[in-house]
Amino acid sequence: MTTHHPGAADFLPPRLTLNTLVRAAATCTGCDLHHLGTQTVFGEGPTHARVMMVGEQPGDREDLEGHPFVGPAGRLLDRALAESGIDREDVYLTNAVKHFRWGRLPGKKKRIHRKPTLVQVAACRPWLDAEIKVVRPEIVVCLGATAAQALLGSKFRVTQHRGEVLEVPDLGAPVTATVHPASILRASDDAARRREMDAFVRDLTAVRRSVAA
């Protein structure tokens, strides 16, 4: 038997502010992930941040702490932001999916990240749309393929189009995409990691310049 999940739209509050959104999202059961995650991890940052960054989904640390980008990928993001001259406090940070999707290897305790499905990404999308509506950023930066494909379509390839600024009809802000910080953590050696970090910092620096005018 399959359980019907309505998607997040049914849970949106009547009046959209960051406070009403955070509260409403806390009890969202719009997809099956609400059973799996410890809590909803909503976006955080200034109400009218000029830059919004969108990751994939909370990781293990984020799931336990309830805040976005507080684990290893978040620490790498912090370093990249600092190198790009962007103050994390000025950025609204969120994720395409607000609950942690994970699994376990047989006989192992550790919770292992699993990529959210297209259905889960689509179910959670109303929260992201509402965040963009309320924050009205000057640019939305997708960190990695999940966020990029959520906002730019399933055919979008970060490797081919990173750094390009694209207009998306009805979204309310132009969108650009770069890699996910976790992909840099997975680089095969120090030299590759440094190269990927430099490219990530270049993309973020271009974002800073585009809003600093």
- In the block, tokens 């990751």 appear at 55
- Among 74, 116, 126, 137, indicate the residue that binds ligand URA (CB under 6 A): 74
By the rule CB under 6 A, 141 interacts with ligand URA:
no
- What is the spatial distance between Cα 65 and Cα 60, in angstroms, rounded to a whole number? 9
Binding mask 96-115 for ligand SF4 (x = CB under 6 A): -xxx----------------
Q: Which residue from 30, 45, 58, 116 is in contact with ligand URA, where contact means CB under 6 A?
A: 58
How many of the chain's residues bind ligand URA (CB under 6 A)?
13
The site string for ligand URA over 179-198 (x = CB under 6 A, - otherwise) reads ---x----------------
Determine if 124 is a binding residue for ligand SF4 (CB under 6 A).
Answer: yes
Cβ atoms of 177 and 207 closer than 8 Å: no
Among 12, 18, 21, 28, binds ligand SF4 (CB under 6 A): 28
Q: Give residues with Cβ within 8 angstroms of 194, minimum separation 6.
A: none
Does 116 participate in binding ligand URA (rule CB under 6 A)?
no
How near is the Cβ of 129 to ligand SF4 at its closest, in Å?
12
Both structure tokens of 197 = 């970090």
Q: Residue 69, interface with ligand URA (CB under 6 A)? A: yes
Q: Determine phi and psi for 4, rounding to 5 degrees.
A: -80, 130
DSSP 84-106: HT--GGGEEEEESSSS--EE--T
Q: Which residues contact 135 (CB under 8 A, 6 or more apart)?
A: 18, 45, 46, 47, 48, 49, 52, 92
Q: Is 29 exposed, middle or buried (0-12, 13-18, 19+ CB in 10 A)?
A: middle
Q: Which of 12, 18, 24, 33 binds ligand SF4 (CB under 6 A)?
A: 33
**Residue with CB nearest ligand URA?**
55
Pick what 29 binds: ligand URA, ligand SF4, none; C-beta below 5 to 8 Å, kind-dependent.
Answer: ligand SF4
CB 39 within 8 A of CB 26: yes
- Fill in the amino acid letter for 149: Q
Q: By the 8 A CB rule, do 49 and 91 touch?
A: yes
Q: Determine which residue in the list 12, 18, 40, 52 makes contact with ligand SF4, applying CB under 6 A.
A: 40
Query: Which C-beta is closer to ligand SF4: that of 76 or that of 124?
Result: 124
> Which residues are near ligand SF4 by CB under 6 A?
8, 25, 28-31, 33-34, 40, 97-99, 120, 123-124, 127
